[in-house]
Protein backbone atom coordinates (compact mmCIF):
# COMPACT_ATOMS: atom_id res chain seq x y z
CA UNK A 1 0.00 0.00 0.00
CA UNK A 2 2.82 2.42 0.86
CA UNK A 3 4.44 1.78 -2.53
CA UNK A 4 1.14 2.53 -4.27
CA UNK A 5 0.66 5.77 -2.33
CA UNK A 6 4.28 6.71 -3.00
CA UNK A 7 3.74 6.12 -6.73
CA UNK A 8 0.59 8.27 -6.75
CA UNK A 9 2.54 10.97 -4.88
CA UNK A 10 5.27 11.03 -7.53
CA UNK A 11 2.68 11.25 -10.32
CA UNK A 12 0.90 14.11 -8.55
CA UNK A 13 4.16 16.03 -8.06
CA UNK A 14 5.13 15.57 -11.72
CA UNK A 15 1.70 16.70 -12.87
CA UNK A 16 1.83 19.78 -10.67
CA UNK A 17 5.33 20.60 -11.94
CA UNK A 18 4.18 20.41 -15.56
CA UNK A 19 1.23 22.68 -14.83
CA UNK A 20 3.50 25.24 -13.13
CA UNK A 21 5.99 25.19 -16.02
CA UNK A 22 3.21 25.64 -18.57
CA UNK A 23 1.80 28.48 -16.52
CA UNK A 24 5.16 30.26 -16.46
CA UNK A 25 6.01 29.52 -20.08
CA UNK A 26 5.40 32.09 -22.80
CA UNK A 27 5.46 29.45 -25.54
CA UNK A 28 1.69 28.91 -25.55
CA UNK A 29 0.81 32.26 -27.01
CA UNK A 30 0.32 34.28 -30.20
CA UNK A 31 3.34 36.22 -31.46
CA UNK A 32 3.23 38.95 -34.11
CA UNK A 33 5.59 38.15 -36.98
CA UNK A 34 5.76 39.95 -40.35
CA UNK A 35 2.42 41.71 -39.97
CA UNK A 36 0.51 38.60 -38.92
CA UNK A 37 -0.19 36.59 -35.76
CA UNK A 38 1.61 33.23 -35.55
CA UNK A 39 0.59 30.48 -33.11
CA UNK A 40 3.31 29.33 -30.69
CA UNK A 41 2.45 26.19 -28.76
CA UNK A 42 -1.21 25.77 -27.81
CA UNK A 43 -2.53 29.12 -26.60
CA UNK A 44 -5.91 29.08 -24.85
CA UNK A 45 -6.81 32.54 -26.14
CA UNK A 46 -8.12 33.03 -29.70
CA UNK A 47 -5.95 34.75 -32.30
CA UNK A 48 -5.85 38.52 -31.63
CA UNK A 49 -7.71 40.65 -34.15
CA UNK A 50 -5.33 43.59 -33.83
CA UNK A 51 -1.92 44.21 -35.38
CA UNK A 52 0.29 46.98 -34.08
CA UNK A 53 3.69 48.59 -34.21
CA UNK A 54 5.69 48.72 -30.98
CA UNK A 55 6.77 52.33 -30.49
CA UNK A 56 8.39 52.43 -27.04
CA UNK A 57 8.86 50.07 -24.10
CA UNK A 58 8.21 52.03 -20.90
CA UNK A 59 9.97 51.57 -17.59
CA UNK A 60 6.76 50.28 -16.01
CA UNK A 61 5.96 46.70 -15.00
CA UNK A 62 2.53 45.19 -15.63
CA UNK A 63 0.49 42.01 -15.66
CA UNK A 64 -2.38 43.20 -17.92
CA UNK A 65 -3.13 46.01 -20.37
CA UNK A 66 -5.20 47.88 -17.79
CA UNK A 67 -2.06 48.45 -15.70
CA UNK A 68 -0.57 50.67 -18.42
CA UNK A 69 -1.11 54.36 -19.06
CA UNK A 70 -0.13 55.96 -22.35
CA UNK A 71 2.15 59.00 -21.83
CA UNK A 72 0.42 62.35 -22.61
CA UNK A 73 2.91 63.26 -25.34
CA UNK A 74 1.59 60.32 -27.40
CA UNK A 75 -2.08 61.06 -26.71
CA UNK A 76 -1.67 64.59 -28.07
CA UNK A 77 -0.47 63.40 -31.49
CA UNK A 78 -2.67 63.09 -34.53
CA UNK A 79 -0.52 60.78 -36.67
CA UNK A 80 -1.67 57.63 -34.86
CA UNK A 81 -4.23 56.56 -32.19
CA UNK A 82 -1.50 55.58 -29.74
CA UNK A 83 -2.35 53.32 -26.82
CA UNK A 84 -0.46 50.99 -24.47
CA UNK A 85 -0.36 47.24 -23.95
CA UNK A 86 1.30 44.92 -21.46
CA UNK A 87 3.91 42.98 -23.45
CA UNK A 88 6.35 40.65 -21.69
CA UNK A 89 5.36 42.23 -18.35
CA UNK A 90 6.37 45.72 -19.53
CA UNK A 91 4.05 48.54 -20.54
CA UNK A 92 4.60 49.29 -24.23
CA UNK A 93 3.29 52.16 -26.34
CA UNK A 94 1.84 50.82 -29.58
CA UNK A 95 0.37 52.18 -32.80
CA UNK A 96 -2.43 49.98 -34.19
CA UNK A 97 -2.47 49.31 -37.92
CA UNK A 98 -3.78 49.29 -40.54
CA UNK A 99 -5.03 52.79 -39.75
CA UNK A 100 -8.43 52.27 -41.35
CA UNK A 101 -10.04 55.22 -39.63
CA UNK A 102 -7.34 57.61 -40.83
CA UNK A 103 -8.07 59.89 -43.75
CA UNK A 104 -5.81 58.80 -46.58
CA UNK A 105 -4.11 61.57 -48.51
CA UNK A 106 -1.66 62.04 -51.31
CA UNK A 107 1.73 62.46 -49.69
CA UNK A 108 4.48 64.58 -51.25
CA UNK A 109 7.98 63.15 -51.74
CA UNK A 110 9.24 65.09 -48.70
CA UNK A 111 6.85 63.36 -46.26
CA UNK A 112 9.96 62.53 -44.20
CA UNK A 113 9.82 66.12 -42.88
CA UNK A 114 6.76 65.22 -40.79
CA UNK A 115 8.19 62.06 -39.21
CA UNK A 116 9.01 62.26 -35.50
CA UNK A 117 10.62 59.72 -33.18
CA UNK A 118 10.15 60.65 -29.53
CA UNK A 119 12.41 59.18 -26.85
CA UNK A 120 10.92 60.68 -23.65
CA UNK A 121 12.73 58.23 -21.35
CA UNK A 122 16.07 59.40 -22.85
CA UNK A 123 17.04 55.77 -23.33
CA UNK A 124 20.42 55.53 -25.02
CA UNK A 125 20.06 54.68 -28.70
CA UNK A 126 22.73 54.55 -31.36
CA UNK A 127 22.45 56.75 -34.50
CA UNK A 128 21.70 53.57 -36.44
CA UNK A 129 18.79 52.68 -34.12
CA UNK A 130 17.38 56.22 -34.32
CA UNK A 131 17.67 56.21 -38.11
CA UNK A 132 15.83 52.90 -38.34
CA UNK A 133 13.03 54.10 -36.02
CA UNK A 134 12.49 57.17 -38.22
CA UNK A 135 12.67 55.16 -41.44
CA UNK A 136 10.07 52.65 -40.19
CA UNK A 137 7.66 55.48 -39.32
CA UNK A 138 8.16 57.00 -42.77
CA UNK A 139 7.89 53.83 -44.85
CA UNK A 140 4.79 52.56 -43.02
CA UNK A 141 2.85 55.59 -44.25
CA UNK A 142 3.00 54.01 -47.70
CA UNK A 143 1.83 50.58 -46.56
CA UNK A 144 -0.75 51.18 -43.84
CA UNK A 145 -3.03 53.72 -45.49
CA UNK A 146 -1.57 57.00 -44.27
CA UNK A 147 -0.67 57.91 -47.86
CA UNK A 148 -3.10 56.84 -50.57
CA UNK A 149 -0.55 57.42 -53.33
CA UNK A 150 2.64 55.44 -53.93
CA UNK A 151 1.36 52.50 -51.83
CA UNK A 152 3.64 49.55 -51.12
CA UNK A 153 2.82 45.86 -50.95
CA UNK A 154 5.92 45.23 -48.87
CA UNK A 155 9.29 46.66 -47.86
CA UNK A 156 12.54 45.49 -46.30
CA UNK A 157 15.36 47.39 -44.64
CA UNK A 158 18.86 46.16 -45.43
CA UNK A 159 21.18 48.36 -43.41
CA UNK A 160 21.40 51.63 -41.49
CA UNK A 161 24.87 53.07 -40.94
CA UNK A 162 26.20 56.25 -39.40
CA UNK A 163 28.07 58.35 -41.97
CA UNK A 164 31.13 59.86 -40.29
CA UNK A 165 33.18 61.04 -43.26
CA UNK A 166 31.75 64.55 -42.73
CA UNK A 167 30.19 66.19 -39.67
CA UNK A 168 26.94 68.10 -40.21
CA UNK A 169 26.32 71.55 -38.71
CA UNK A 170 23.88 69.85 -36.33
CA UNK A 171 22.87 66.30 -35.54
CA UNK A 172 24.36 63.39 -37.47
CA UNK A 173 24.20 61.67 -40.86
CA UNK A 174 22.95 58.14 -41.56
CA UNK A 175 22.75 56.11 -44.76
CA UNK A 176 19.85 53.71 -45.28
CA UNK A 177 19.67 50.89 -47.83
CA UNK A 178 16.30 49.19 -48.37
CA UNK A 179 13.97 47.38 -50.81
CA UNK A 180 10.36 48.20 -51.75
CA UNK A 181 7.55 46.37 -53.57
CA UNK A 182 5.22 49.06 -54.99
CA UNK A 183 1.53 48.46 -55.69
CA UNK A 184 2.09 50.13 -59.06
CA UNK A 185 5.41 49.43 -60.74
CA UNK A 186 5.19 52.80 -62.51
CA UNK A 187 5.20 54.60 -59.14
CA UNK A 188 7.09 57.88 -59.52
CA UNK A 189 8.27 58.05 -55.90
CA UNK A 190 10.03 54.68 -55.97
CA UNK A 191 11.27 54.81 -59.60
CA UNK A 192 13.98 57.35 -58.87
CA UNK A 193 17.74 57.58 -59.17
CA UNK A 194 18.52 54.89 -56.61
CA UNK A 195 17.39 51.28 -56.72
CA UNK A 196 17.26 48.44 -59.24
CA UNK A 197 13.93 47.23 -60.60
CA UNK A 198 13.57 43.44 -60.63
CA UNK A 199 11.21 41.34 -62.72
CA UNK A 200 9.53 40.05 -59.55
CA UNK A 201 8.23 43.56 -58.78
CA UNK A 202 10.78 44.48 -56.10
CA UNK A 203 12.98 47.55 -56.38
CA UNK A 204 16.21 46.61 -54.64
CA UNK A 205 18.98 48.68 -53.07
CA UNK A 206 17.11 51.95 -52.61
CA UNK A 207 19.32 54.50 -50.85
CA UNK A 208 18.71 57.43 -48.53
CA UNK A 209 21.15 59.89 -46.96
CA UNK A 210 19.53 61.58 -43.94
CA UNK A 211 20.60 64.38 -41.62
CA UNK A 212 18.92 63.74 -38.25
CA UNK A 213 18.70 66.24 -35.39
CA UNK A 214 17.40 66.10 -31.83
CA UNK A 215 14.95 68.69 -30.53
CA UNK A 216 14.12 68.13 -26.88
CA UNK A 217 13.37 64.42 -26.65
CA UNK A 218 12.33 64.17 -30.31
CA UNK A 219 14.35 63.25 -33.39
CA UNK A 220 13.59 64.72 -36.83
CA UNK A 221 14.98 64.37 -40.36
CA UNK A 222 15.96 67.81 -41.67
CA UNK A 223 17.41 66.79 -45.03
CA UNK A 224 17.13 63.78 -47.32
CA UNK A 225 18.92 62.76 -50.50
CA UNK A 226 19.31 59.63 -52.64
CA UNK A 227 23.03 60.19 -53.04
CA UNK A 228 25.94 61.67 -51.11
CA UNK A 229 27.06 65.00 -52.56
CA UNK A 230 30.54 65.19 -51.06
CA UNK A 231 31.23 68.50 -52.79
CA UNK A 232 28.44 70.24 -50.86
CA UNK A 233 29.53 68.67 -47.57
CA UNK A 234 33.09 69.98 -47.64
Range of the domain at 76: 46-97
Q: What is the largest CA-CA distance in the chain?
A: 92
Q: Whole-angstrom Cα distance, residue 11 to residue 49? A: 39
The whole-number pLDDT of residue 120 equals: 81
Q: Tell me, yes or no, whether 129 and 206 share the same domain.
A: yes
Q: Say how many CA atoms lie within 13 Å of 178 toward its Cβ.
A: 22
Against a cut of 0.75, is the pTM above it? Answer: no
Q: Are residues 127 and 202 in the same domain?
A: yes
**Position 141 in a domain:** yes
111 and 218 share one domain: yes
Same domain, yes or no: 130 and 54 = no
Domain count, the chain: 2
Q: How far is CA 124 from CA 118, 141, 143, 191, 212, in A?
A: 12, 26, 29, 36, 16
What CA–CA distances, in Å, run from 81 to 26, 68, 146?
Answer: 28, 15, 12
Cβ-based neighbours of 167, under 8 Å, separated by 6 or more: none
| Domain shared by 75 and 123, yes or no | no
110 shares its domain with 162: yes
One domain, residues 204 and 223: yes
Residues 197 and 120 in one domain: yes
pLDDT profile of the chain (234 residues), mean per 10? 54 55 53 64 64 80 90 67 85 70 59 84 89 89 69 90 90 95 74 83 93 92 86 63
Q: Give the model confidence (pLDDT) of 117-141 as tens digits.
A: 888 887 889 999 999 999 988 888 8
Residues 84 and 114 in one domain: no
Nearest to 86 by CA among 69, 58, 120, 62: 62
Co-location of 110 and 224 in the same domain: yes
Amino acid sequence: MKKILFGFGIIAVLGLTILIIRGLSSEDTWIQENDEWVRHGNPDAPKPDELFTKVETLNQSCTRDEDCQTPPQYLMRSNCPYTSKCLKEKCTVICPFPWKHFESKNCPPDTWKDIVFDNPSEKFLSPEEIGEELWIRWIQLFKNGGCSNEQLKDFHIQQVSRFEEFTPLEGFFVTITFDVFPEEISSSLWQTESGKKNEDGWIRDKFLFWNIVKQGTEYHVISSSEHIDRGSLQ
